[in-house]
Amino acid sequence: MGGGDGRSTPPTGFADPGTLAVLVVFTLLLSTIAGVGSAMRAATARDILRADGAERIEISPLPSTGTRGNLNAEKLTLVESVDGVRQVVPDYTSSLRSPRGGELPRVSLQTRSWGSTVRPPLTAGTVPNPLPPDQIVVPAHVQGVDFRAHLGERVRMSYTVPPPPEPAASEEESTGERERPRSAPGEEAEDEQRAQAATVAHSASEISETIELRIAATYDPRWHADGPDTAYVAPRTAAVLAAAAQGTTAERVHAVNGADRVGVVVEKDADPAEVAARLRDMGLGAFPLVDRERNLIRTVEVWYYIALLGVLVSAVLLGFRGVGRFTAAGGPGEGALVRGAALGLGVGVLATGLGVLGALVLRAPMEEFLGLRIQWFTLVPDPRRALIAAVLPALATFAGAAVGYGRSRGLG
């Protein structure tokens, strides 16, 4: 009687909840990673490869990259002598800010050498080749300032220089032999306040200098391969600003202290990887500019195939276990195959759609991390990978159910 009641109960519970959850997660990851990889490839092609990035090499000053010594004038001459090198641009990092009472609202910008990396995507204006020392390329809008409204204008910017050294103390002051007249108790506080005010005024007038620059062009601020809020000036101007911050001369920075990095453009028919290898043999940490993006894309591809394997294993396991659960509930084995395929297809379509939404949510963090522009439609996986994410769970679940059904019949 109880057996008859059991057979009359509709067969439910095909899916093991734990295995089903794993399949959903892996399918969602598969779709999301496919979209992220698609966007990274599109952004790299648009903002790096098409902007002469495929012809560029970057030399780092860090000893961990293989560089021995500073990237000074001697090293630059050495780089220029290498076969296949067309242009060498030293990069000097400093900063500029708008002075109080100037033409611009308060804004602070990092400065780097124009030409030391790929050209940013311009939104307005043009950049002469080479960029003149009195011109600057800035983000279109940053820190609430719309630089497009100032395109072509000459603006004053201030930069920091070290304060002058304190004058040497006289012998009387150093030995304390000269006794200073004692102030009245009420006058001591006033004297101290006047001294502090004089020190602040002296510092403010001595540690800031101004430079007048013409805004030649603006670029899309979503592109920030050199970090956010970055402006570009001529290498000579960048060296002057860096020298001022270091309390030395531009000539010494160029000849002795060295650049913060060096951008190298190779000849059209030269292989950047081969030129970079020659430079590394000379004790310079040189690598093709696109290596970072290519390595990131390869990493994403590895995770894609890990997620793909996870979908296959979990879907097959779901189908295999589902047959046993389904037949144990009194359902026919052939029905388990259909139910498994339908369940896998539902999971695939739903999780693929959620994965695309997940990739879209990651657009802003990806732009922040990569420093490249991510267009929303590039986050949608290509049709082939979208189809794989949607259909593979169904096929794998059906296969797992078929194996389980065949095994149960064999045992029977």
What DSSP character marks residue 220? -
pLDDT for res 14: 66
**pLDDT over 80 (residue 230):** yes
Query: Is the domain of 311 the same as that of 265?
Result: no
Geometric angle at alpha carbon 383, from 380 and 388, rounded to 5°: 105
Q: Is 111 helix (H, G, I), strand (E, B) or coil?
A: strand
Between the two ends of the chain, the Cα-to-Cα distance in Å is 24
Alpha-carbon gap, residue 89 to 67, rounded angstroms: 17
> Domain total for the chain?
2
Give the C-alpha separation, 339 to 326, whole Å.
9
Express each pLDDT in 247-270 by its tens digit. Answer: 899 999 999 999 999 999 999 999
Give pLDDT tens digits for 279-312.
999 999 999 999 989 999 999 999 999 999 999 9
Q: What is the mean pLDDT of the chain?
A: 85
Q: What is the structure's pLDDT at 203?
A: 44
| Burial per residue of 38-65, b for 16 or more beta-carbon CB atoms within 10 angstroms, e otherwise | bbbbbbbbbbbbebebebbbbbbbeeee
Predicted structure pTM score: 0.78
In a domain, 4, yes or no: no
Whether the per-residue pLDDT at 332 is higher than 90: the answer is: no
Residue 319 inside a domain? The answer is: yes
* Nearest C-alpha neighbor of 239 from the set 225, 219, 257, 216: 257
Residue 97, domain member (yes or no): yes
Identify the CA nearest to 160 among candidates 106, 96, 254: 96
Cα dihedral sign for 305, 311, 312, 314? positive
Residue 218 DSSP code: E
Q: What is the pLDDT of residues 337-395, one digit of tens each?
A: 888 889 999 999 999 999 999 999 999 999 999 999 999 999 999 999 999 999 999 99
Shared domain check, 59 and 41: no
* Contact present, 293 and 278 (Cβ < 8 Å): no
3-state DSSP: the chain helix, strand, coil percent, rounded to 5?
55, 15, 30
DSSP letter string over 263-309? Answer: EEEE-TTS-HHHHHHHHHHTT-EEEETTHHHHHHHHHHHHHHHHHHH
Tens of pLDDT, residue by residue over 166-201, are 655 544 444 444 444 444 455 555 555 544 544 444
Angle between helical axes of 333-361 and 17-44 (0-180°, round to 10):
40
Residues 206 and 117 in one domain: yes
User: Per-residue pLDDT averaged across 30-41, rounded?
Assistant: 96
Tell me the pairing of strands 108-113 and 122-125: unpaired
- Per-residue confidence (pLDDT) for residue 331, from 0 to 100: 53
Give the model's pLDDT for residue 50: 82
Whole-number pLDDT of residue 197: 46
| Residue 25 shares a structural domain with residue 80 | no
Residues 71 and 124 in one domain: yes
Segments forming the whole domain that contains residue 110? 55-162+187-289
pLDDT tier for residue 408 given thresholds of 50, 70 and 90: low
221, 338: one domain = no
Looking at the fold, whether 106 and 94 belong to one and the same domain comes out as yes
Domain limit, last residue, from 247, 274, 289? 289
Task: Please give the pLDDT value at position 334.
Answer: 64
Reported confidence tier of residue 215, pLDDT bands at 50, 70, 90: very high
Tell which of 289, 324, 347 closes a domain: 289
Asked if the model's pLDDT at residue 8 lies above 80, the reply is: no
pLDDT attached to residue 178:
45
What are phi and psi for residue 145, nearest 5 degrees? -105, 130
Residue 205 and residue 60 in one domain: yes
pLDDT at 5 over 80: no
What is the DSSP-derived secondary structure letter of residue 122?
E
Residues 285, 307: one domain? no
pLDDT at 409: 60
- Place 1 in a pLDDT band, splitting at 50, 70 and 90: very low
Higher per-residue confidence, 193 vs 396: 396
Q: Determine which of 55-59, 94-98, 160-164, 365-369 has the lowest per-residue pLDDT on average.
A: 160-164
Q: Residue 174 burial by CB count (10 A; 0-12/13-18/19+): exposed, middle or buried?
A: exposed
